[in-house]
Structures are given as C-alpha cells and as structure tokens.
Amino acid sequence: MTAPDAGRPPSAGSSRGPLRIGLTGPIGCGKSTVAAHLASRGAIVIDADRLAREVTEPGEPALTAIADRFGSEVIGADGRLDRPALGRIVFGDAAALADLEAIVHPAVRPRILAALEAAAESDAVAVVLEAIRLVDGGYLDVVDEVWVVECSAATQRERLAGRGVAADDAERRIEAQAELVARARDAATRIIDTDGSLETMRDAVDAALAAALAA
C-alpha cells in the first residue's frame, strides 16, 4: 500500500552511510507504529517529539522561554511542562502555536542533526527521522526519501478517542496539523496507508523499505 516512487532525487546524504528516511504524517495515523516496525527491521529511529521533550525538561532554556510566553499555568507543581495545559492553549490558536514552535524547534534542530550525523557512522539498514514538521523544519535536504503515514479520517478519530483524547481536542489538533500534512504529502516519495490490519501495515512497510533500498 505505497504510492509509486515520486522520483525525488536522492539527497547528498544518500552517498554516505545508511539510507535516510523522513517519516511524517498526521496525529493518530500510526507514525510511531511504522517507526517501531522499521526499528525491528534494523533501522535507527530518531524521534523528533522525544527530542522536543528533552529540550523542555526542567533546567532547559526552552522551558523557561515557554513559561515566560505562556505563563506559570503551563508548568506543573513538579516544575515540569504541563503538556495538556499547553496543548489547550496552542491547538486552536495559530499565533500561540507559532510562538511555541519558534521556541522549541531551534533547540531541537541541533540535536536532530547531531543524531543523524552519529547514525551515518552505523551499519543500520536505514535511519528514520520521525517528525511531524519534517518539511517546515527544513529537513528535506538531509533525508533521501519522505514517507507519509496516512489513514482515513474515521480511523484517525477512532484511534485518538482510544488514547483518551476528547473529540474537541482531537479536532483542534487535526486542524492545527492540516497544512503541515498537506506540504508533507506534496514532498512524499512514498505513502503508507495504515487503515488495514497491523499485519497489512507491516507488509506495506517491508515492501516500501525493500523498494527504497533497491532504488
């Protein structure tokens, strides 16, 4: 269940080290599940969201900047970022979301690039950069392929509900990501459809990986 190769030329990074795959797609469509399967096939996964959490830990400059911008109500009693409280502010407010991204992404980018550089020395079958802001974050020039994970709107909402995300919160998050997803799809080398069973998804990812390595 992959789209035909869109013919994007390989990046300069393809000549050194493992194949680099940029993995993106909307919330609730299975990016992390796809990434985990790629890891089981010998890929190194760099999770941009995990790195974003690291740069907003207590003591990090980004956390101080977030508190200055959004107020003490987004900091929990333990001094850590209260992500649900922050989400209620930024999802549905484009300006607030842009302000948050302007704080977090400059702090995350050096860590992503360092992780990619380190992975280039490995013998992994591939290196996967899992990031919702793959295109807007300026990472197209450091990956060889862009894979977009998609599912139907009904499946997406069902999965978010299964995670305990309230319907109104889910809609805000989906809407906030709409433009990011559209731009990623325009850049896609391959589309991974996750509407079917887990086994069907795994087969699709295996086929996409084999095709990418053979390209």
- For the chain, the DSSP string reads --PPP--PPPPGGGGSSSEEEEEE--TTS-HHHHHHHHHHTTEEEEEHHHHHHHTTSTT-HHHHHHHHHH-GGGB-TTSSB-HHHHHHHHTT-HHHHHHHHHHHHHHHHHHHHHHHHHHTTS--SEEEEE-TTTTTTT-GGG-SEEEEEE--HHHHHHHHHHTT--HHHHHHHHHHHHHHHHHHHHH-SEEEE-SS-HHHHHHHHHHHHHHHHH-
Q: What is the mean pLDDT of residues 127-152?
A: 95
pLDDT, residue 25, reads 93
**Cα atoms found within 13 Å of the Cα of residue 148, Cβ hemisphere only:** 23
Mind listing the pLDDT tens digit for each residue in 83-126? 999 999 998 898 999 999 999 999 999 999 999 999 999 999 99
Worst-scoring range by mean pLDDT, 32-46, 47-61, 164-178?
164-178
pLDDT, residue 16, reads 61
Worst-scoring range by mean pLDDT, 27-31, 114-118, 172-176?
172-176
Q: What is the mean pLDDT of residues 180-209?
A: 94
pLDDT, residue 19, reads 97
Confidence of residue 9 (pLDDT cuts 50, 70, 90): very low
Q: Which CATH architecture has domain 19-50+109-214?
A: 3-Layer(aba) Sandwich (3.40)
Query: Do 143 and 12 contact (CB within 8 A), yes or no?
Result: no
Residue 50 has pLDDT above 90, yes or no: yes
**Structural domain boundaries of the chain?**
19-50+109-214
Mind listing the pLDDT tens digit for each residue in 60-92? 999 999 999 999 999 999 999 999 999 999 988
Q: What is the mean pLDDT of residues 126-137?
A: 94
Query: Do 24 and 30 contact (CB within 8 A), yes or no?
Result: no
Backbone angles phi and psi of 126, in degrees to 5? -165, 160
